[in-house]
């Protein structure tokens, strides 16, 4: 698990991370979103005991990052911003080297290397120099390296960037598998669709501070307001005389549709459906308006910069 309390980092006069509080339990994925330079990498580096916090505490896999750096590093798997591959080594040698770094016995190193390279489709290129690999292959190898010691905590910085859709899917499936295997995962990504698919919790960081965090539904509700529903009819119908249930607000109307905001859909929506049916309104569709994480993110960023959010 990962727990941070008021985690802060200052470089001379520059505040890189300020008062970050995060909590990620086993079997959870937390996605950390933010612009480049927002403090994601600094946070990850503090969680891997590479940087000493200037204030606050962090515990990773049960160890204090400030006091037990060695144990923290032994317990985490990190996919760094720069993959850091040794170009003159083969993938097999590279995996074996890191297997030795994590003190794995030779037979286990061999098995895990074979399995991981096989899973990521690198088995055939296992004996080729990494320098000859494509960008996507390097990314997959770096990810495989982070998993060689089957760490309890994974810190993944842009795990699918530079990958083709097929490989990205492969990596997402692996991350989902790791989650179900009770691993704790911190994911830094600019791919919001991926985050929507994988993350249990999302935190948005800006200039070193966490602006908002929660589940996707919580973020949508808190940032974009209550869910919105669109009702469409087959023939023009005047919705002006329609009495809306309590907690429902009319947003827009056209001759063949209207849009409402609903505080408690599970209570109000059936009532509205009943009323429309009793009025014999020719309803052809009753659907929730798609609200994405991207909208949430852009609205939060617009708000923090004091600009209007344009959907």
**Contacts for 290 with CB less than 8 Å, ≥ 6 apart:** none
Candidates 72-80, 243-251, 288-296, 302-310 — which segment interacts with other proteins by CB under 8 A? 72-80
Nearest to 154 by CA among 91, 219, 76: 76
Round to whole Å and give the CA distance between 304 and 295: 14
Round to whole Å and give the CA distance between 197 and 24: 17
Structure token pair of residue 135: 């960008």
Binding of other proteins at residue 81 (CB under 8 A)?
yes
Residue 212, SS3 per DSSP: strand
Candidates 74-82, 188-196, 243-251, 260-268 — which segment interacts with other proteins by CB under 8 A? 74-82
Q: How far is the CB of 141 from other proteins (least distance, A)?
A: 11
Binding of other proteins at residue 112 (CB under 8 A)?
no
Among 25, 101, 164, 294, binds other proteins (CB under 8 A): 101
Task: Write 237-240 long-range contacts (CB < 8 A, 24+).
Answer: 237/281, 237/282
Residue nearer to other proteins on the CB measure, 73 or 183: 73
CB 284 within 8 A of CB 212: no
Among 145, 183, 201, 299, binds other proteins (CB under 8 A): 145
CB 15 within 8 A of CB 8: yes
Q: What is the dihedral of CA 245, 247, 251, 255, to 10 degrees?
A: -10
Binding of other proteins at residue 98 (CB under 8 A)?
yes
DSSP label of 220 = I
Binding of other proteins at residue 55 (CB under 8 A)?
no
- Cross-sheet strand order for the sheet of 201-206: 76-79, 153-157, 184-188, 29-33, 201-206, 209-214
Among 6, 35, 55, 88, binds other proteins (CB under 8 A): 88
Q: How far is the CB of 211 from other proteins (least distance, A)?
A: 25
Q: How far is the CB of 287 from other proteins (least distance, A)?
A: 46
Going by DSSP bridges, is the β-strand pair 76-79/29-33 parallel, antiparallel, or unpaired?
A: unpaired
Q: How far is the CB of 14 from other proteins (least distance, A)?
A: 11
Binding of other proteins at residue 162 (CB under 8 A)?
no
Among 19, 97, 119, 263, binds other proteins (CB under 8 A): 97
Binding of other proteins at residue 108 (CB under 8 A)?
no
Binding of other proteins at residue 50 (CB under 8 A)?
yes
Among 13, 36, 82, 238, binds other proteins (CB under 8 A): 82
E-strand spans in 168-208? 184-188, 201-206
Candidates 68-76, 160-168, 197-205, 291-299 — which segment interacts with other proteins by CB under 8 A? 68-76
Candidates 14-22, 73-81, 119-127, 242-250 — which segment interacts with other proteins by CB under 8 A? 73-81
CB 44 within 8 A of CB 72: no
Among 76, 141, 210, 212, binds other proteins (CB under 8 A): 76
């Amino acid at each position: 698990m990962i727990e941070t309390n008021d985690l802060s980092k200052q470089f001379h006069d520059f505040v890189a991370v300020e008062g970050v509080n995060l909590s990620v339990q086993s079997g959870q994925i937390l996605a950390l979103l933010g612009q480049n330079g927002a403090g994601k990498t600094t946070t990850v580096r503090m969680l891997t005991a590479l940087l000493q916090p200037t204030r606050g505490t962090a515990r990773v896999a049960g160890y204090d990052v400030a006091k037990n750096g060695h144990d923290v590093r032994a317990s985490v798997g990190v996919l760094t911003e720069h993959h850091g591959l040794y170009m003159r080594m083969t993938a097999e040698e590279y995996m074996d080297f890191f297997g030795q770094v994590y003190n794995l016995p030779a037979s286990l190193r061999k098995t895990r290397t074979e399995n991981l390279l096989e899973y990521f489709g690198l088995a055939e290129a296992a004996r080729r120099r990494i320098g000859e690999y494509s960008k996507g292959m390097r990314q997959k190898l770096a990810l495989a390296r982070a998993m060689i010691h089957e760490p309890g905590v994974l810190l993944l910085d842009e795990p699918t960037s530079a990958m083709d859709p097929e490989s990205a899917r492969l990596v997402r499936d692996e991350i989902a598998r790791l989650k179900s295997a009770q691993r704790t995962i911190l994911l830094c990504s600019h791919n919001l669709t991926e985050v929507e698919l994988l993350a249990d919790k999302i935190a948005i960081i800006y200039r070193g501070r966490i602006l908002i965090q929660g589940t996707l539904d919580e973020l949508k509700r808190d940032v974009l307001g209550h869910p919105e529903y669109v009702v469409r009819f087959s023939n023009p119908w005047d919705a002006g005389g329609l009495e809306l249930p309590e907690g429902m607000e009319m947003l827009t109307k056209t001759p063949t549709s209207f849009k409402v905001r609903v505080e408690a859909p599970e209570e109000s929506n059936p009532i509205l459906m009943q009323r429309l049916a009793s009025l014999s309104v020719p309803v052809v569709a009753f659907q929730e308006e798609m609200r994405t994480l991207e909208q949430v993110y852009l609205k939060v960023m617009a708000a923090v910069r004091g600009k209007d959010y344009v959907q």
